[in-house]
Each structure stands twice: as C-alpha cells, then as structure tokens.
Structure 1
C-alpha cells in the first residue's frame, strides 16, 4: 500500500510539473507522442462511440414514448431524450467506452514497459517517463473525450429524432426544434466539464496501475483489469459529484 501511494504521488507531481517543463524544454518526440495519442483516442474511437450513441438515442426515444403516450405527452419525447443524453448518458457512456478501450491500452503499455525495465532505461538516458508516457495520454483524453462526448450527444439526439419520425409518427423538424429549445448552454458546458474530469481520472488511474506492475507478464493482465474497474468506479463517483454540484448551482 505504501508503494502504491508513493507511486501515485510521484505521478501526480510529475503531471503538475509537466507544463513548466514543456515550456522550458520542448522536444519534437514529445509533440509526436501527443499527436499519435490524439489520433488513437479520438479518430479510432469514433465508430464505436457513434454506434453506441445512436443505439442509446433510439432506446431512450422508445422508452420515453412508452411512458409519455400514457399521459398524452408524446411531443415531449425530444425533451426527455436530449436532456438525458446531454446531461448524463453522453459523457458517462463515452467515458466508460474510452476507459475500456484507451485506458486499458494505456495501462498495458506502461505495465509492459515497467516489467521489461524500459521505464528505467528512459530515466537513464534522461527522458522523464511521466512527460514522455503520461502527459501525451492525459492531453489526448482531456481534449478528445469532451469532443467525442459532444459528438455522442449529437448522434444520440439525431438517432432518437429519426427513430421517432419513422416509427412514432413525430415530426423530425418539431423534434429537433423541441430539443434545441429545451437544452441550454449550461447543459452542454456541464457535459463537456464532466467529460474532461472523466478523461483526467481515467488516465491517471490507468497509468498509475501500469507503473505498479512488478510480477511478470501475468501482472499486466491483473493491473489492466484493476485499472478499468477502478476507472469505471471513479467515473460513477465523479458523475454523482458533478450532477450534485450542477443541481446545487442551478
């Protein structure tokens, strides 16, 4: 436990010192790492995020229609779908997808390097492991997770609208107008802030578990599993915190 806490403190201190080091001593290979991770986290996650967001929008539209039809308020399907996706399911599902996809990859990469003593080799040749390995990952997650969340929000709302117009008999134009009128700027900002918080938590937890790997190849799998489970647990906790904060502020 002492080593776990010590490693976490070392990692957080390295991330706090990273911006100052990056300004004083920029290096081309750090920039290359950043672009590589932006592509890996962003564009290569786009398909799975789009599919899950579209399915979520259609499911929400159907569930909302079943309940609202009982009270003659079918026109409010757009309100239910848009608010639920933007405020909750958009950032939450996108973060869970990236925790299982990118977070697991982060942990496995660092754990493998730790076991094969590549981390020690980086330090010997004067390369900061946190700046070289962790900083590009957290930058990619802080940028791409909010972007993917906004995309998921858009896809989910549009999919719900298309589903409602084709199978529920609602006007697509009316659905979209209702969704735009009901959503506020604060809702979108809250969604983006949530996503950024989730991205930071996922990266720190997954990289932390990677640096803790010690016991051979089998430990890579154990650490990766722990990293994903802990990331999802932290996402749920942060979601509750942000939702409560938004409720109090509103």
Structure 2
C-alpha cells in the first residue's frame, strides 16, 4: 500500500481530499449564488465577469488560487471581484473537511456535504438580498428530514417533530412580531429553513442549534453593520446564522450539549 494511503495517515488524507473537493464545489456554489440572485441559469452562459462580460479562461476559474493571482480583480476590466466568492469557497472547503473528519468516507459524509452545500448557497444569497429562495429551502427541508429520520440517534419521529416544531415556533414568532410592530422581523425563508434544521438536528437538538446560531448572529452583527456602512436599524440576515448553528450541531452535537449545559 502506498505510504500516503496507510491506515495511520488515512484520517488526515481523507479530510484533505475533502477540502479540495469542497473548494471545487465552493466555486460552483458561488456561481449558484450570483445567478440565483440574478435569476439566470447556472449552466448558460459560461462563466464570465459580471461587469464587462469577459469570458473566464480556465486559469481564472481555479478555486481561491485565481482570486489571489488576480488580486481580486477582473483580468480584463480590472473591476473588483466580490470577496464573497473566495469566502464561499473557503466555507465549502472547511465544511467538507470537517464533515470528512467527523463522518469518514460514508453515506453520512455525502448526505451532509449536500445539505451543507444548500446551506452555503442559501446563506450567500441571504447575506446579499435578504432572501432565502424556495428552490433552496424546500430541497433542504426534504434532505434534512430524510437525514434525521435515518440517523439512529434521531429517528423518524424526532426528525418530523423537530421539523414541525422549528417551523411552527418561527412562524409564531414571525406572526407575533408582524402583529406587534407592523413590519416583518423574520422572513418567510427563515421559517421554511427551520423545517430542514429541525429535521436534521431532531427535536432535542433543535434548541441548541438555534441557540448557537443566535449567539453567532449577536456576536457578528456589529461587524456586519460596520461592513455594510449603514446605521444600527439595518436588517441583519438570520438565515446564515441559523445554518451555522445547525452545521455546528451536526458536527459537534454532544460536545455542544455539554458546553451549553455548563453555561
């Protein structure tokens, strides 16, 4: 057996391979984000600069590497490329590597890789236009419930109850805020997203996933407002932080339970 495939090194080799796969998938996710916002096909036309229409050569499509080589600017018009593209690629690589370390080369790795991909694309869109599209939340709901239902520690009942509870509680919160304030405090996409999170984490893990997401939103909100250069009253997308909470619980559920119960 080649040295790099030895059993002692495999726990490191597989996550490294997954990280590279995550970078490639992240490049595709960034296309899904930009074209999901524009409402155009993810297949045609070929990848191009959104400013000047310059068709991208193969060396301009290398995940993360191309952004660094081009110093964040289009090779043709020199307009700045959004930093969201490499951030999505890095997020995808990190998720793939962590999922590989947690679940190994298994069906769970494939399933969670797909679910995380939906969460990453949805988060990228929500960060920019405050919208979680149905074409992402509905497949994520089906996949999240299916994963939870097949996990021995969750099972069908906990997955379905978690999905219903997550959707129901957030629907009540959204309706109550709208009734009290006359404006939307939670978007409909956040409510639908809870179907997936409740299903994937189960009814027992749901509160902890939401708590982690809420804490992350609280910590990140000042930096988000500062980055946008707007006042305190600006809305902050909650969907990406809910996705983060769910992904953290999926990877480190037992450890999070121990940590949070000590607080």
State the TM bucket, normalised to the shorter chain.
under 0.3
Q: Give the structure with higher Rg (CA).
A: 1
Q: Going by fraction, where is helix more abundant, 1 or 2? A: 1
Question: What is the TM-score of this pair, normalised by structure 2?
Answer: 0.26
Relative contact order (C-alpha < 8 Å, sep 6+): which is higher?
A: 1
Question: What is the TM-score of this pair, normalised by structure 1?
Answer: 0.27
